[in-house]
Chains A and B, each alone.
Chain A
Amino acid sequence: MGKAFSTPKSMSDNYTHYCPGCTHGIAHRLVAEVIDELGIRGRTVGIAPVGCAVLAYNYLNCDFQEAAHGRAPAMATGMKRVRPDLIVFTYQGDGDLASIGMGEIIHAANRGEKFTTIFINNAIYGMTGGQMAPTTMPGQRATTAPLGRDTAQTGMPIRMANLLGELVTPGYVTRQALLNPKQINKAKKAIKKAFEYQVEGKCFSFVELISTCPTNWGLTPLDALKWAEDTLLPYYELGDYKVPE
């Protein structure tokens, strides 16, 4: 009988530093499975962000660069331009990508840079300890919004997939979630499609993944999944925001 389940080659055997119930591990695994299935590990270079996933290279086993806060899309641009044969992906959180790195991601997407971005949206800063992110929901508490996000002062949460979907330049932009097995299977298909578009040299590809942060939300892992389902999904609607022709 064949082996039914094993660790992807693109994943290393390290103990995780992520908190219990965090969905980073699932996102990592999906990326690793896709890299394995496409047989591209030997020419893939990942770019780690600043945030909880800065140590993504401890788990994803391929060449890796580590960016400064928000700058991963600029590094990916530099790399992809000088080595178009490489498969390049950035893995970024919402503080990194939607706040300090807004300029870099918009322009990379608008130039149609042929790399892939995996965007983890958990509506909060994780690594620095639960501060408000541009994606934090109205009224959601954060260490820098102790009474809850006041949208009169801070505006409404930014919907990255919607925003990038509006760009005229062709690309693949989708929002998926990691809150239940069905969503996870769909998310994997989207990640695979995103990498395939890159392998074909077709376009920029962007997969937003609605994720959880039980620790900084102050919820148990199960309650965090439910909160995300009830609060995030109605505002961050799942689906494709742009598909190349």
Chain B
Amino acid sequence: MAKVLMKGNEAIGEAAIRAGCKNYFAYPITPQSEVAEYLAKRMPEVDGVFLQGESEVAVGYMIFGAAACGERVMTTSSSPGVSLMSEAISYIAAAQCPAVFVNIMRGGPGLGGILPSQGDYFQATKGGGHGDYHLLVLAPDGVQEAVEMTMKAFGLAEKYRGPVMILGDGLIGQMMEPVEFPDDLNTEPSNKNDWATSGMDTRKSDKRNLVRSLFLDPKELNDNNLALKAKYEQMKKEEVLYEGYNTDTDYKVLIVSYGTMSRVCKTSIDMMKQEGIDVGLLRPKSLFPFPEKAVFKAATKESCKSVISIEMSMGQMVEDVERCVKGQRKVDFYGECGGDIPTPEKIIEIIKALL
């Protein structure tokens, strides 16, 4: 298929439809409202469902109700909205229903700002809502990857019967880039007869299905949490995604960076290369599961003297980087989070100070 020029938010909406998702519920919030505006037009064209809920709290549960029927469903929001949805996300994780959440991050805490940020790394990867659960979190670095990850997310949500999050930022949502929609990412929905509350008639048996998250018996609750943990362990084996950039060189410094920030880092790396300085980049594409082994391996390469996590936050992923490096190298951090994205020149200055 030919490439089309699309805004990130609209491309994410189109990607959902191309992946076979015909159900979308959302509440407007900057900088991702264009997804809702796009799908308000597009869903009726494909006989899909578009509904603007009364709040992000309600939307979270509309997603839960629809997902519990086994239907493909998505919502999109931005940081403060995702905080409100986090209650439902905890229930959805506990009740083991597949659903796709997109967070086009803006600055926080509080109302923060409307400019791009990576301040929700903790919220996305460490829980967000209450209780023992994780989301599978994918972080695109541009519009094309946002499309591919969104399309892939539905299959992953069904494979693990749980919530999957696409963690982008305001820049990815707002910028326009040429994109291509791959056909092969429109996967067949998985069998849901065993668990979905789709009506007893659909199963042609007298077995009824129950979607719940209340387990008053301590053993039952422990067992449910063990089942969730087993999924997270499987994700760590099967879903780790990352990219190495300039890592086949004898770099002295390794940058760990994701999303929009990693693209700026790549520019800095190219500029330094022209000066004869090699710097490596390890870009996690899956934030949960985190590429633990890859980070350790890249950080402990003989030539590598130090590691720096560069983020559009005040230092969140750096904690995972430190965990993975296991004290084998010094781990530094640089970040800005007001909405101004660090420039390539600024990053070069920071890196040179480490050399």
Contact = CB atoms under 8 A, between A and B. Distances in A.
Chain A complexes with chain B: yes
Interface of A: 41-45, 47-48, 54-55, 57, 61-68, 71, 74-83, 85-86, 103-104, 107
Interface string B225-244: 00000000000000000000
A140 B64 CA distance: 37
A45 B66 CA distance: 12
Interface stretch (B101-109, B179-187, B203-211, B249-257): B203-211
Given A66-B213, A82-B22, 18 more contacts: A43-B199, A45-B69, A48-B212, A64-B212, A66-B214, A67-B64, A68-B87, A74-B62, A78-B63, A78-B66, A79-B68, A79-B197, A81-B23, A81-B49, A81-B51, A83-B199, A86-B199, A104-B58
Contacts of B214: 54-55, 66
A55 B216 CA distance: 10
B208 A78 contact: no
B22 to A, nearest CB: 8
Contacts of A76: 65
B55 interface: yes
Contacts of B23: 81-82
Contacts of A107: 53-54, 58
Contact of A64 (B61, B91, B208, B213): B208
Contacts of B188: none
Interface in B284-326: none
A125 B25 CA distance: 31
A75 B62 contact: yes
A43 B68 contact: no
B71 interface: yes
13 contacts: A42-B200, A54-B214, A63-B197, A66-B211, A66-B213, A67-B61, A71-B64, A75-B61, A77-B58, A82-B71, A83-B69, A103-B57, A107-B53
Contacts of A81: 23, 25, 49, 51, 62, 66
Given A66-B211, A74-B62, A103-B58, A45 B53 contact: no
Interface string B59-101: 1111111111101010000000000000110010001000000
A63 B200 contact: yes
A235 B284 CA distance: 61
Question: For B63, B64, B199, B209, which residue has the most chain A Cβ atoms within 10 angstroms?
Answer: B199
Contacts of B217: none
Nearest to A46: B197
A45 B197 contact: yes
Contacts of B197: 45, 63-65, 79
A14 B269 CA distance: 67
Nearest to B59: A74
B198 interface: yes
Given A78-B25, A78-B62, A103-B55, A83 B198 contact: yes
A35 to B, nearest CB: 11
B201 interface: yes
Contact of B65 (A43, A57, A78, A85): A78
Contacts of A41: 200
A104 B61 CA distance: 10
A88 to B, nearest CB: 8
